[in-house]
Amino acid sequence: MSLAHYTVWQRGHGLTSALHAVFFPAKQHIRNGIEHGLGLGPPIGEKGANTFLQEWLFFGFFARVTDEDIDSAEFYDKHYNVVQTRNQIVERKLARWKKREEASDVVGCSPARARYVRASDALLIARRFISKHVSHGAQEDDDGRPGYRHETDTCTRLNNAVHEAVDTKLTLSIAVLGEILQRERPGPPETGCAGRDEFWQDPSSESRRWGYSKYCRQQLKQNNWCPSEIPWLESTMPGVSEVYYASSKRHKRQYNHSACSLAECKAPPLEALGHVEGECDGKCADLGLDEKEVERVINAGKTPLVTCSSAHGELSLHEFDLKSDPPAAFCALSHAWEDMILNIGKDARGGNNRRVYQCRLRKMQSDFNNLVRAGNIATQNGDVPFYVDALCYPRQLAVQAIALNQMQLIYSKAKAVLVWD
């Protein structure tokens, strides 16, 4: 996935040689390019800063990693005067790159190892530059360990005016390109020496992150995402490409988040889900489990799961040892109780009465059955058991501690996990 287009900051069309696309430019006109790019040298203005980044960290970076000369004219849309990455330009270059490397994949091939090292260096330098100097808070330290999160962006902390001029769509494009190159990169050539191949492996996924995109954060806020949701989204998504995709979608919840902060959402709580529209007349019963039975199952070291009969709408409790004897397939629903989404009534103590409308349970059962069957996974007795905290999470504090320890196992072993949106 890549951005459709972004502004042309390039001085002019030109060929970037893979052999000369070094990452500390020595040419006279950008001799102090790194210092200029960081805002440490003489002021170069908005155009100069973005030209530097586009030449150095898009075309030069692309050429260096793929070991192919890049003609920037291929990326220009003359009609709209933008750089665009559609029309399968990137895909064709990646396919040629992988084909070349696979053809030269000979054990002990020194040129192949040299190209791999150059590509590794280019990825590392570009990743550090983007995550540290033009992203919204550093994602990692130099050595790959997770770093401290800052609520303000890097350019504000450094107080460098040149950073304010950087095109956030351009820096996002570079980060997306970097993630694509990391994902599609051919594996390292075999050394032919036992025990040495592991030293050629790429670092872990955490140390390959490309920072937090300022452009994505701005888009998420414009599309009505709460500021407190944004760090959660960034930390759980695999990379900036997925965050960019999420930022292009307007949030369905029409709440005013203008008073919210990164630490707290001050918007009104979500309304509980009622009956399933179009599938229920609003008169179906509400169903629940015997809380003592739920506690007994958890105290026995097992996990409570439920099914709702497709034929009769009857709610049944099942107990499984997920470690030693899990069901052939089960699913889970996340955070219905915490967000009070299934809160349809109160008990004598004023808390959630732990009951769910029958039509809503039937809808869950149908959705889970369809998800599992689509994966050609065998089920037990037709209906797939599932976990929903509004029914399966205990009320007693002592038992809750045991249930919390089961959560990771539940969500990791489930064939599908649905998260409320």
Q: Which residues of 229-238 are buried (b: 16+ CB within 10 A; e: fewer)?
A: bbbebbeeee
Residue in the structure block whose two tokens are 């898009």: 58
Q: What is the pTM of this model?
A: 0.58
> Amino acid identity, residue 395?
R
Q: 354: closest CA among 318, 306, 303, 412?
A: 306
User: What's the rounded Cα separation, in Å, for the pair 55 and 186?
Assistant: 25
300 in Cβ contact with 306 (< 8 Å)? no
User: What's the rounded Cα separation, in Å, for the pair 345 and 193?
Assistant: 67
Per-residue pLDDT of the chain (421 residues), as tens digits, is 344 444 544 434 454 555 444 343 333 333 344 444 444 455 556 667 777 777 777 888 888 888 888 887 787 777 766 777 666 788 888 999 988 888 876 655 678 888 888 888 888 888 888 877 777 654 333 333 344 444 444 444 444 455 566 788 888 888 888 998 988 888 877 766 556 656 666 766 666 778 788 888 888 888 888 888 888 777 777 788 878 888 877 766 667 888 888 778 887 766 666 788 777 888 888 899 999 999 999 999 999 999 998 777 889 999 999 988 888 889 998 766 554 567 666 666 666 677 888 888 898 898 898 888 876 665 555 789 999 988 898 888 889 889 888 888 898 888 888 876 5
For the chain, the distance separating the N- and C-terminal CA atoms, rounded to the nearest angstrom, is: 23
397: exposed, middle or buried (C-beta count within 10 Å: 0-12, 13-18, 19+)? exposed
User: What's the rounded Cα separation, in Å, for the pair 67 and 328?
Assistant: 48
60 in Cβ contact with 16 (< 8 Å)? yes
- Kindly list the distances between the CA atom of residue 309 and the CA atoms of 156, 231, 257, 314, 316, in Å, as whole numbers in the listed order: 58, 39, 40, 5, 8
**What stretches of 248-357 show up as alpha helix (H) in DSSP?**
291-299
